Amino acid sequence: MKKNIFASILLILSVLLVSACGNTKDTNGDEVVVLKFKENMSPKKVEELNGKKVQMTGFMATTSPLDGKYVYLMNMPYHKTPYCIPNTNQLANTLTVYSTKDKSFDFVDLPITVTGTFKSGDEVDSLGYASTYRLVDASYSTANVDGLEKAIKEYTALVSKGFVQEYISALTEVYKLVYESRGVPESKLTPIDVTRIGKIKGMFSGLDASEYADVIKAVDDLDNLVITMNKTIKDKEYNTLVTYEERAQSCFSQLNLWLMKPNL
């Protein structure tokens, strides 16, 4: 009896995902149920949707099988780990999306709209996460953000230029130099290429700088850090390089806070 009650609680908690919020039609004229993250969906609704074609907009989690056969759709970008009910492997506010048998998913960091068949029933995926429902035979496309919240539009406008990849690549060079300074011969410690920072700053061209003040500060801080570290190498003060790790972590934290702003 207790086991059945616990199973029921898990089911209710795991469907905090969405409720049906409207219908649309696909290119074949078939009706598609549109789902959203911010509204609850009852266990009864889960059963009603079983076998129906549904559509949902979200972000791919960075965690996914190497073969790309499925992805986790989440309400925020760049989440490594899917949401789970505390102390369980039961997914919550996360939708597992399986591709068609002959295709696989490639990771994208822009908001996407997925369309597939809703399938209910308990299942544990290859990464060990349990779910009570999922999408199968799904496809995706870059989402139209015109009707979405301001933070998502701002995110998309900048990230579509390759901002996150470039920022992380530049920051990785910083971390690499910090760690190499602990054991690599001084003769092999070389300055960081500053042209990448210039490329990153150029990505804000055409955007309203006032809307990006927090992430622009993150870029400026990274720029100043690179300049400081390069000067340290030029002055042959190699032992100082290791002290810049905290500033590098601050740059990462600022980026991470900005990435938490879009929320579907």
87-122: pLDDT as tens digits: 999 998 899 999 998 889 999 999 999 999 999 999
Q: What mean pLDDT, rounded, does the chain reach?
A: 88
User: What confidence tier does 175 reach under pLDDT thresholds 50, 70, 90?
Assistant: very high
Q: What is the pTM of this model?
A: 0.86
pLDDT value at 36 more than 50: yes
Q: What token pair was written down for 30? A: 């078939």
Q: What token pair was written down for 72? A: 């986790």
DSSP bridge pairs for 113: 57, 141
